[in-house]
Amino acid sequence: MEKPEWSMHDFEIGKYIGEGKFGKVYLAREKQSGYVVALKVIFKAKLDKYRFHAHLRREIEIQHGLDHPNVLRLFAWFHDAERVVLVLEYAARGELYKLLRTVRRFSERTAATYVASLAGALAYCHKKQVIHRDIKPENLLLDIEGRLKIADFGWAVRSNAKRHTLCGTIDYLAPEMIEKKAHDHAVDNWTLGILCYEFLYGSPPFEAAEQDDTLRRIVKVDLSFPTTPYVSAEAKDLISKLLVKDSSKRLSLDDIMKHPWIVKNADPSG
């Protein structure tokens, strides 16, 4: 995919598959190779309005250098008078959250495989000094083999009705974000704890009818494990070591990968 310059004429555009903050995403096939990709079309006028040119340029540089099995690839990009187009890896099984809603909750093996994939992808990104990987659930996609892909970046999806939009977003906030303290990438470790809980129980740990109740439960770390469904003690141990108020005391990404529950349950092929 390293052709010097691309244009829309190199692609057959297929169905609309998603909506991002700055543009729409389409399925597409590269004519020469027949390779199926996702094309994200961003309108320059929109970028001007939010003065996002520099942000997008910097991000493209960063993304271009990332190559990890659990990070959605940015293969190439090109632009014409009014658009910037990103040539993205296509995740054929779509949003992980739609799958979670469909099956209600994941098995311990599936949940552990996704948590291990996320920890590996985040460790890789932190090593490459990319920390604002926002692992909100809407940013998680699945490829044809069911492998998790962090799709991230400029991707504030207009989440569909299935996710009660507002609660969906605040459920993942770490205490330091709510208390407006300085936060670093340890928020990702907190979010991993939230996601692990939700993969196993089907809903996030601090969910409440009212937003304020959710916020109160988060800052209190009011964590409890229902008696059903059955979840192993090791899984609860990992969650309890991630949902810790003091961000410096949260399990590190490396320790997550070495945790007994992960070692025992995660599928190494990701």
Ligand X SMILES: COc1ccc(C(=O)Nc2ccccc2)cc1NC(=O)CCSc1ncnc(N)c1Br
Residues lying near ligand X in the complex (CB under 6 A): 17-18, 20, 22, 25, 38, 40, 42, 52, 55-56, 59, 63, 72, 74, 86, 88, 90-91, 94, 141, 151, 153-155
Minimal distance in Å, beta carbon 212 to ligand X? 32
Minimal distance in Å, beta carbon 87 to ligand X? 10
Minimal distance in Å, beta carbon 161 to ligand X? 16
Six token digits for residue 134: 């926002």
Sign of CA dihedral 125, 169, 209, 217: positive
Q: Which residue is nearest to ligand X (CB)?
A: 154
Q: Is residue 228 exposed (0-12), middle (13-18) or buried (19+ Cβ within 10 Å)?
A: exposed
With respect to ligand X, which residue has the nearer C-beta, 151 or 256?
Answer: 151
Rounded distance between C-alpha atoms, residue 173 and residue 178, angstroms = 7
With respect to ligand X, which residue has the nearer C-beta, 43 or 225?
Answer: 43
Minimal distance in Å, beta carbon 256 to ligand X? 23
With respect to ligand X, which residue has the nearer C-beta, 8 or 219?
Answer: 8
With respect to ligand X, which residue has the nearer C-beta, 59 or 176?
Answer: 59
> Any catalytic annotation for residue 222?
no
Q: Which of 10, 67, 80, 134 is catalytic?
A: 134
With respect to ligand X, which residue has the nearer C-beta, 40 or 250?
Answer: 40
Minimal distance in Å, beta carbon 153 to ligand X? 4
Active site residues: 134
